[in-house]
Structure 1
Amino acid sequence: MKQIAEDFGFNAIRLAKACDDYEIARPPAGYWQKLEYGKAIVKPPLSVDRFGPDAIASVGICKQVGK
């Protein structure tokens, strides 16, 4: 999440919140560490109840003025 957010010029918390708002699945805390060490990973099914496959999620970029 952090790298993707940096690539697009905003912070990872903002990206995570946007994913939550649009119900976009994202790995829970510890997911990548468990995967790296061969632990069992639970992958919940993806849902398309709220948004269809053609829906576009957008994350606006806020810039601070005067700093």
Structure 2
Amino acid sequence: MGYWVLIAFLCLILSPYIYDFARGKSDIYLQDLKDIFSVVLLLAGIVLWGIMDNTAIGTFTHVVL
């Protein structure tokens, strides 16, 4: 179930780009892709750190995932 939360969050972040792409106005620039990639890396880092660490964030990650 936790993975669906992560996927839904990513879809929420990417929804303006997906909407523009569906309308044929794919004006995704390199800077936007860098921003998206950094957000994805940040989320993945928090999840991995939470899984490896046994602190409050680790407990939260285990509950969510």
Higher relative contact order, structure no. (Cα contacts within 8 Å, ≥ 6 residues apart): 2
Structure (1/2) with the larger helix percentage: 2
Given the two structures, how large is their TM-score scaled by the length of structure 1?
A: 0.31
